[in-house]
Structure 1
Amino acid sequence: MAHHDKDKEVHFVGDSRVRVRKEKLLPKDYSEFPGKTEAFFPNFLLKEWMVAVVVLVGFMALVMAHEPPLGEQADPTNTSFLPVPDWYFLFLYELLKFKWASGPFVVLGTVVVPGLLFGGLFLAPWLDRGKDRRPFKRPAATGIAILSLVAIVALTWVAWDEHEKQLASQPKGSSEDAKIVNPQDPAYEIYKNNACVNCHGQKLEGLQGPALTGIGDAYTPEDIIKIMDEGKGQMPAGMFQGNAEEKQQLAEWLAEQDPPKEEESEE
């Protein structure tokens, strides 16, 4: 049974009691309103999906065309190995080299600064709710985004540049190629058990500090002890933690380290 409204007449299909629906079940044509909006499904979603497909295909083409380089295998005996994180974490790796973000302030560099960076990115839709989409109309959000991007790019570039310089400063060949004079001397164990090995390497090949192969050709034991006590260059004073006897023993052993002969280096 059909009900008639006072203000609206009800129409039926033929002799049935099925009401005639004049409105069409189609999305609105937003071409009549340029620059306003459009239907999310399927118009907007289809365009976003097509853009995502193009980006994904391009990315996969680059991946297949350029194989990712594999680093050296982990070797606990190779002290010349310089580990670095993946490229997208290089800016955090470089950030931890600053004094205010390492040592006693390491929580600041590992938790606070990254937390503010990624937390701000996550909360951006709620923090910046302006209706204007032009970047120059949103100076706070645009400025923070540009500053963050510049900082990430600069720190990444500096970290990689330093890594390349460290690799270039290492002697060619593996650490096993370095020749050590009298490796059975107890002084070699004193050397390996002190902080010397962290900068000069297990085989005296030099890591963050200069190589010690051939140091006996330039310094006497007295000179070496003076360097241990007073420091030199980037080496601070008082790095050697052993007693006076061990210091003398180590200095005499280092003074025996002559530079490799040309015949040996060619072989």
Structure 2
Amino acid sequence: MHRGKGMKFVGDSRVSAEKKPNIPKDYSEYPGKTEAFWPNFLLKEWMVGAVFLIGYLCLTIAHPSPLERIADPTDTSYIPLPDWYFLFLYQLLKYEFASGPYTVIGALVMPGLAFGALLLAPFLDRGPERRPSKRPVAVGLMLLAVTATIFLTWQSVATHDWEAAAQQGQIKEAAEFDAEDPGYKALEASGCLMCHGADLTGTAAGVTLVGTGLTPEEISNIAVNGQNTMPPGQWKGTDEELQAVAEFISKLGAE
């Protein structure tokens, strides 16, 4: 700027002074091979995602996830079952080549190779074609993954014992009790909680001790002589501990 001469502006040729409208490029020279990301492709993605999201929300409302009882670390007979989207991996671990001494292969190596192949698919097949017949590598990997997932999921559902699973996860009546009670301490010391559970609601190996409606004498007789699935001779404690256990169980009632 020179004194008395006014102001002078210097323009930068790298900045275009002409405003261009936000119009996607013309891809008519490549029919069926590519299209504008905005708004054509992105709009399609949003529409498909919205349909799946609404469908998923409707399914969760119509079929809410079932709840099971509180986890019991003393129940060694409980067999956990993963959610439906992991059933194919759960089924894979049942096969001989992917279980036992080969668990690492079934749990890490095979899933790692499968997902690694899916991640590498865009780099293995970088052609501009959009037709499945023109992209055999990407289409082949995807079909293999989808087919294996559907088959293993179906096998897991078809071979699982759903009745036993419903029984082992069934919410049972609970009772409030003092864990410092001599009767509970005697149950814990004698190992009875391994079959009847820490909350005394039973496991697959033992029945619930809550709300039995039995007298202390009847409970003492069962503990010594057995009944149904409980064989005789299971009680290893003293007579005083047995009396405390019998009185403790007879007072347990459902909430």
- TM-score, reference length from structure 2: 0.52
Match of 2:79 in 1: 82
Aligned to 1:38: 35
1:129-152 Cα deviation digits (max 9, x unpaired)? 233322233334333322222221
AA aligned to 2:116 is G
Tell me which residue corresponds to 1:202. Answer: 205
Partner of 2:61: 64
Change (3 A) 1:79 1:61: same
Q: CA deviation at 1:109?
A: 1.0
CA–CA distance in 1 between the matches of 2:142 and 2:153? Answer: 17
User: Under a length normalisation based on structure 1, what TM-score does the superposition of the two structures give?
Assistant: 0.50
- Answering whether residue 98 of structure 2 is matched by residue 95 of structure 1, we say no
Q: Does 1:153 align with 2:179?
A: no
- Asked which structure has the greater RCO (Cα within 8 Å, sep 6+), the reply is 2
For 2:159 and 2:64, how far apart are their aligned partners in 1? 24
Q: How many residues align?
A: 175
Deviating more after overlay: 95-104 vs 47-56: 47-56
Q: Percent identity?
A: 48
RMSD: 4.3
Contact 1:96 1:102 in 2 (8 A): yes
SS at match of 1:149: helix
Using the alignment, how far apart are the partners of 1:80 and 1:71 within structure 2?
15
CA shift, 1:29, in A, is: 6.5
Q: CA deviation at 1:118?
A: 1.0
Distance in 1 between the 2:91 and 2:146 partners?
15
In structure 2, the CA distance between the partners of 1:116 and 1:25, relative to structure 1 (3 Å rule), is same
Whether contact under 8 Å (1:101, 1:109) holds in the other structure is: yes
Decide whether aligned partners of structure 1 residues 109 and 121 sit closer, same or farther in structure 2, where only a CA change above 3 A counts.
same
| Ranges in structure 1 where 5+ consecutive residues have no aligned partner | 1-18, 176-187, 193-200, 205-212, 217-248, 251-267
Equivalent pair of 1:102/1:109 in contact (CA under 8 Å):
yes
Matches within 5 A, 1:108-187: 108-164=105-161, 167=164
Give, in angstroms, the shift of residue 26 of structure 1.
Answer: 4.4
Cα deviation, 1:236-267, whole Å, max 9, x if unaligned, reads: xxxxxxxxxxxxx99xxxxxxxxxxxxxxxxx
Q: How does 1:225-244 map to 2 (within 5 A)?
A: none
Please report how far the alpha carbon of residue 90 of structure 1 lies from its aligned counterpart in structure 2 after TM superposition. 1.2
